[in-house]
Every structure is written in structure tokens, then in C-alpha cells.
Amino acid sequence: MSIDTDYRLASLTLSGSHYDIGRGLGRHGASLVHGHLVKTYAWATVMALRHDDRIRAARSVVEERYPQYLQELSGLADGLELPFDEVFAWNCRGDVWAMAPDGCTTVQIPGSFPVIAHNEDGDPGLRSRCALATITPNQGQPFTAFVYPGSIPGHTFAINGSGLVLTVNNIRSTLAGDGLPRMVLSRAVLDCATIDAALTLLSEAPRSGAFHFTLAQAGQSRLVSVEFTHANCSIAEIASPAVHANHLVHVEMAFEPQIITGSSGSRQERGQDILDANDEPPAPLSVLWDQEHRILPIYRVQPDDPDNENTLATAVFKIGRDSVDWAVYDSAGSAARFENTGLKIATM
């Protein structure tokens, strides 16, 4: 395991078995998890639910369908030096608690060469041990993903070895149920070789909580938006520039009960206003770094943010014929902290 912490957003490289990868992630985040996360209201709220029937059911279905990710979670717990039950519950946080602190905004720009851009918003207290992780499992797809201390990969933004790009937004559904934890389901998407495989997985799997995905892939012009809850899954091809600010916006999902925070509603409205005001799609960073709404901006840095979230990183993915150019920024207006351009990917 190698770690670079010269800047706010670290780089992390891991390989080996799923257990090894989980343990490496745990060791990287352990000091911050013990120093901050386990002392938060969010952690206490989820731990009070760790014996909930939904979490017991979730563990059974993960063990049956995805034992490799259960090993990842086991390694994560050992690396963190925390009980497995607590770490598993934390990775089910959005399935049992609608107000889990995960926000995010995604800009979707379709075309012959689509662009996905994404603000990763989360607990600012976790910033110092977040990382851009390059992970090569012994089995499954290699991938690069933004990772949080205490969590398995997949529920933020990522690109895998097949050129599949995914960004993930929290949905605060109030009707979760038995099924796969949404974070395990998103981890499984990282192992998909195609958009269609990911769509089949998301639509057919038993789901516990709710998420939004934006999907694209090298060699394809498709740009796909997926909203799912415990009961329903909506898949839409993006035909015009759009923004998604972590609540259900598909017409087919309008009847689903959810919590839309003031920040989520404001970011959705402001982002769409910026897109609508331009004849041509604007630069995605001009949307994601916007702070025109001073109280509830798209780019979030307030220490008293009402959702207890700040923007921890911004990613831009430009989809090509046989490659994906991407860049990750750890502060607005800065040069890219990480970038990868011109790398050829074997397209399907």
C-alpha cells in the first residue's frame, strides 16, 4: 500500500484480495475514523440501528450474492480496528436513515462525446483522509474511485478498467426495505463491464435504499441517468444538458416519498438555471463551482452548512472513442490535483 498525503486529497494504491483491499482502506482511514467519525451524531444515529431487522436481512443477502464484498467489509473492519457489525451498519447508513450526510451534484452533458462532472459533497470532518484510490483486485475490475474513511468504494465517482464511468448521488428516500445495501450495490457496479450490465444489475437486484447514478462508457455516446429506490427503478437516456442534485427528479419517480433538503433543492434549481441560460452547454466547472446563492450554493464550503456537508472534490469525465479523459480537483479554482488524459481503454 502506498499513500501520498502532500495535498488535501490523498492518493492511495491497493491490490490483492478483497479482504486485503478492505484492510488497506481501513488502515488508511483508521486514525480519522477513531478521532472524528465515531464521535459524530451520524455515527451514533446509525449505531443505534445496527441491530435493525433490515441490517440483518442485508447481511444475509450480501453473504448470499456477493461474499467477496462481505470480505471487503471484513477487511475494512479489521483495518479500522472496529467491530464488523458496526462497520457493516455504517455501510448501510443510507438504507436505514434518510438523513445520512451524503449530498453531491452532477452535471450531465450529452453529445457524441458526453461529459459527466460531479461535486462530491460529504462530512468536511472526513476531508483529511479521503483519497483517490486506484484499486486492482485479484478478481474483478480494476478501478479508480474517490473513497471515504470507513466506507467501501463505489458510492461516489469512479471509472473502471472497462472505461465505465459512474457518479453517485444520495437519495433521501423514506421507504427503504429489505435488500442489498445501496453501497454494496454500487460497489457491484464497479465490477460491471458495460453500461447494460450495470443497468441490468441495478434494475433487477433486490434493493434496500435509494441512489442516483449517472453512467457513461468509453466508445459510446450514451449518457444514462438511473434513479432507484427499494421499490422502483427509473432509467433515462440524457438527451439535453441536465443537472442532478441528490433527490429524485425523474417524472416516473415523482410519487416516491423523499426528503429534499433546502440545499438539495437550491442546487437543483440554480444548476438548471445556469444550463437554461446558455445556448451552448457551459463549462461544467462553471456550474459545479458556482456560489451565486450565498446561503445554499452549489459549491459548498460553509462550516455551518445545514446538511453538515462540504464539497470535498470535483471530478470531470470526458468520454472519447477509446479513452476517457478525467480530472479531479480538491478545491474550486485550483489546478487539477489528479488527471489522466489519452489513456486507451479496450472498448466493448
Strand, coil or helix: 68: helix
Residue 153: Cβ within 10 Å count = 24
In tens, the pLDDT along 281-337 reads 999 999 999 999 999 999 999 999 999 999 999 999 999 999 999 999 999 999 999
Residue 259: Cβ within 10 Å count = 12
Give the pLDDT of residue 8. 78
Q: In angstroms, rounded to a whole number, what is the distance separating the alpha carbons of residues 92 and 285?
A: 31
Residue 221: Cβ within 10 Å count = 13
Among 111, 196, 134, CA closest to 10: 134
Contact 187/153 with Cβ under 8 angstroms?
yes
Indicate if the pLDDT at residue 95 is higher than 60.
yes
Q: What are phi and psi of 79, to 5 degrees?
A: -65, -35
Indicate if the pLDDT at residue 56 is higher than 60.
yes
Give the pLDDT of residue 343. 58
Give the pLDDT of residue 6. 44
For 243-249, what is the mean pLDDT? 97
Q: List the Cα angle 201/212/263 in 5-degree steps.
A: 165
Which amino acid is located at 149 in the chain? P
In tens, the pLDDT along 197-227 reads 999 999 999 999 999 999 999 999 999 999 9
What mean pLDDT value characterizes the chain?
Answer: 94
Give the pLDDT of residue 345. 58
Q: Which pLDDT band holds residue 133 (cuts at 50, 70, 90)?
A: very high
Give the pLDDT of residue 58. 96
Helices marked H in 245-319: 262-276, 284-288
Cα-based torsion angle of the residue sequence 84, 69, 212, 113 in order, rounded to the nearest 10 degrees:
140
Contact 326/117 with Cβ under 8 angstroms?
no
Q: Which pLDDT band holds residue 4 (cuts at 50, 70, 90)?
A: very low
In tens, the pLDDT along 96-120 reads 999 888 889 999 999 999 999 999 9
- pTM of the model as a whole: 0.95
